[in-house]
A and B are shown apart, each in its own frame.
Chain A
Amino acid sequence: MINEDAVFASRVLTELTLSFHIIYATLGVGVPVMIMIAHWVGIKKKDEHYILLARRWTRGFVITVAVGVVTGTAIGLQLSLLWPNFMELAGKVIALPLFMETFAFFFEAIFLGIYLYTWDRFKDQRKHLLLLIPVAIGASFSAVFITMVNAFMNAPQGFDIVNGELVNVNPLVAMFNPAMPTKVAHVVATAYMTSAFVLAAIGAFRLLRGSQHMYHKKALYLMMKIGFVFSIATLLIGDLSGKYLAAYQPEKLAAAEWHFETEDYAPLILLGWLDEEDNVKYAIEIPYALSMLAHAWPSAEVIGLDQFPKDEIPPLYIHYLFNIMVGIGMLMIVVSFMYWIGVRRHWRFIHTRAFRWLIVAGGPLSIIAIETGWWLAEVGRQPWILRGIMKTAEAATTSDHVDIMIYLFSGLYLILGIGSVVVLSRMFRNNPIERELEERKGAVHL
């Protein structure tokens, strides 16, 4: 009993919710770490600017957390509403990390409330910094646990199916599946990287708008440095992810790289276009690079799409997503490295308007890289919802009203999206740093 319309609508709604949620969720994981670093630098250097940096970021962070919580609740419930058959099966095997994620989130929620409302209660800023540690830990761990669930969908294990029945469930084996290490590391590193570049973009934007304040320059330099460190980490983990795919999910790698025939000395295809007969046009071929990416050896054999039945191959457009993601990642490594070196060596051009606009663009671009990365990961698993075990079509609800719900949720996300942008921009426009420093004269205890 498969209801085609309901399956399609469920996929659309899930993609809509997750794509919207991931923007706020990514910032929700990364920004508290940046706030903590700023707060700590402020105490260490006895510099009030960094403390204020933490404070102002926190104010903005509250808005993103609120939207993240709402959309997170939405996706949490939608999983059961739209994919009841999947959740029934997953509930038996993967409920443990789902459950732990709520604990991590609980922990973060409590301490964020305390941190926010005790700014001036403690004479000692170090005590206040202690409150941030559980916020950052909680945020990062909720990402770790929820990514474990997603990794399980790509590499299900920890149970046996005997005559259609689930037996011998082992929750820990399900959690520590082969996809887990690279996925979790990649998600956490990219969240830190993206948050750093988004915050750097804000600083660069204020400088472009004519503020010459030291405060923004410090923020920009700090965030570009941290962004560079995490983008290098992302690059290394991304390479490991490719090796994981070659070993465990060759069809995803082959579809992403348009690798049709199984061969050794496999070239890597960059950019390009597919015509109607699936011939690759205008692509750049890098000899041996795919073999290197997959097995770290130029002559290694890489499995191609010819090894898989037609109905188990993911859509080929994921290649474009892969290119966008990697392209943005590389660009950000170059930009942040140039800025970092440039500040130390007093290069002129990094202070030009053009370069600053490039940094501003880096914020939204990093978000786009996160989105394309997730679409690549999720669409690359098609047609499976649980790779090799359950097809997406078997998992969806049979209810007829999913299409109406798409309109309902689209409206909600539109309001939340516009509302959060308006409130955030108004918050910082109406209270520039110069004014806040003026008001707080003598009120800071370092």
Chain B
Amino acid sequence: MNLEVIGITVLWTFLFGYVIIASIDFGAGFFNAFSEFTNKQHILTKIIQRYLSPVWEVTNVFLVFFFVGIIGFFPKTAFYYGTVLLIPVSIAVVLLGIRGSYYAFETYGTKGHKGYAFMYGVAGLFLPAALSIVLTISEGGFVAIVSGQPTLDYWALFTSPLSWSIVALSLTAVLYISAVFLTWYANKAEDVDATNLLRKYALTWAFPMIITAGGIIYQLSSHNPAHYERILGIWWMFAISTLFFLGTVWLIWKRKNYGLAFGLLVGQFAFAFYGYGISHYPYLLYPYLTIYDSFTNEAMAISLIVAFILGLLLLIPSLYLLLRLFLFSKDYVRGKTDHY
């Protein structure tokens, strides 16, 4: 393990953390809005609010951590990605703005504003699409270097089947992850109606998700053959991922052990996500940027890793405390404590 690989592994892990908790958050926002319009809000809203309240801020930090970290470990990404991503990332920031503010405003100000809830739900659907464009671009073929400056070919990006496949995957995955998690959460809260409704959502979104995931691997075979070859090289990771997926669906179908079902889901996405990351190696932006030619100097790398380890020593106990108080506290989940 050299420093470059450690650096990218740390960042990839935080990105994975963000994918899981942001998916729960985005999907919950969508289901919340959807239930408002199908007059089922009495079933869902309580559960969703109770879960999201203490964690909405923490979710955002995972993202900040990733983009600050990648500039730290791989400063050249600022030049390549920064120049290219102006529009998609700005749109993502505005959507994040709508969501972040909505949460605080809704909790204390404008309870049950339908238009607001709708914006919140829709923003959560567009966000994964806006953010997943970064992954599409990293596959190469959309960025050209014109007189020393990277420029993005928007037309190629919008007409590429690969970009739409990745957008489709990000949407279906968000809804699936969030439905599975909330099924488990609602079940813990002993809320039968919410559990049944969410279980239905989870089963609805399971197959579109796995189909789009397979579609991407197929797209890559023509878009970036080298990457496709490396994916085949670690086929076993994707095989395990698929097995886990089947396990999750089976458990939910049988209404058994939702906690294990969610655990398998995290495992499924972890294998797929890391498999994708490993097969992407060594490129950050194909074919211009590898993790080796963009890596920061050794002094900075070492100081960042030291800071990171010290930071984790603070963070892990704090996160554990947060989970114990809100996720694994039976009284809180069932709404028995007089929370504020």
Could you list which residues of chain A lie within 8 angstroms of chain B, going by C-beta atoms? Answer: 1, 59, 62-63, 65-67, 69-74, 76-78, 80-85, 87-93, 95-96, 98-103, 105-107, 109-114, 116-121, 134, 166, 169-172, 397-399, 401-402, 404-405, 408-409, 411-412, 415-416, 419-420, 422-423, 426-427
Contact = CB atoms under 8 A, between A and B. Distances in A.
A446 B218 CA distance: 65
A90 to B, nearest CB: 8
Given A98-B72, A397-B83, A423-B108, A416 B97 contact: yes
Interface in B96-110: 96-98, 100-101, 103-105, 107-110
A323 B318 CA distance: 45
B239 interface: no
Contacts of A77: 67, 89-90, 93
A422 B108 CA distance: 11
Contacts of B85: 81
Interface stretch (B51-59, B181-189, B227-235, B248-256): B51-59
Contact of B68 (A59, A62, A102, A117): A102
B297 to A, nearest CB: 5
A408 B90 contact: yes
- The 4 A-B pairs at the shortest CB distance, nearest first, are namely A91-B75, A95-B72, A66-B104, A84-B82
Interface of B: 53-55, 57-58, 60-61, 63-65, 67-69, 71-76, 78-83, 85-87, 89-91, 93-94, 96-98, 100-101, 103-105, 107-110, 147-149, 296-297, 299-300, 303-304, 307-308, 311, 314-315, 318-319, 321-322, 325-326, 337-340
A404 B94 CA distance: 13
Contact of B101 (A70, A100, A171): A70
A91 B7 CA distance: 14
B298 to A, nearest CB: 9
B108 A95 contact: no
Given A1-B149, A107-B315, A62 B108 contact: yes
Contact of A111 (B82, B110, B296, B318): B318
Given A113-B326, A401-B87, 13 more contacts: A62-B107, A66-B101, A81-B89, A81-B90, A87-B71, A95-B71, A99-B308, A102-B64, A116-B53, A166-B297, A170-B299, A419-B109, A422-B109
Given A106-B315, A110-B318, A420-B101, A96 B72 contact: yes
A168 B100 CA distance: 41
B86 A114 contact: no
Contacts of B79: 84-85, 87-88
Contact of B58 (A78, A95, A110): A110
A109 B93 CA distance: 19
Contact of A80 (B65, B81, B97): B81
- Majority secondary structure of chain A interface residues (helix, strand, loop or mixed): helix
B100 A412 contact: no
Contacts, number: 230
A101 B304 CA distance: 12
Contacts of A423: 104-105, 108-110
Contacts of A397: 82-83, 86
Contact of B322 (A76, A89, A102, A114): A114
A116 B340 contact: yes
A27 to B, nearest CB: 13
B320 to A, nearest CB: 10
B96 A98 contact: no
A70 B97 contact: yes
A161 B82 CA distance: 24
A121 B337 contact: yes
B101 A120 contact: no
Given A85-B79, A98-B71, A405-B87, A92 B100 contact: no
A113 B54 contact: yes
18 contacts: A65-B57, A66-B104, A77-B89, A77-B90, A81-B85, A83-B82, A87-B71, A87-B79, A88-B76, A91-B72, A101-B68, A105-B64, A106-B61, A109-B60, A121-B339, A171-B303, A426-B109, A427-B109
Contacts of B94: 408-409, 411-412
A95 B57 CA distance: 23
Contact of B318 (A1, A107, A405): A107
Contacts of B311: 100, 103, 106
B303 A76 contact: no
Nearest to B65: A102
Given A69-B57, A106-B61, A116-B54, A419 B89 contact: no
Contacts of A411: 94
A13 B64 CA distance: 20
Nearest to A399: B86
Contacts of A102: 61, 64-65, 68-69
A171 B86 contact: no
Contacts of B69: 99, 102
Contacts of A99: 68-69, 72, 304, 307-308
Contacts of A166: 297
A117 B53 contact: yes
Given A77-B93, A84-B83, A66 B103 contact: yes
A396 to B, nearest CB: 10
B326 to A, nearest CB: 7
B278 to A, nearest CB: 24
Contacts of B315: 103, 106-107, 110
Contact of A120 (B65, B78, B96, B337): B337
Nearest to B69: A99
A412 B97 contact: yes
B65 to A, nearest CB: 5
Contact of A118 (B75, B148, B339): B339
B262 to A, nearest CB: 21
A244 B290 CA distance: 42
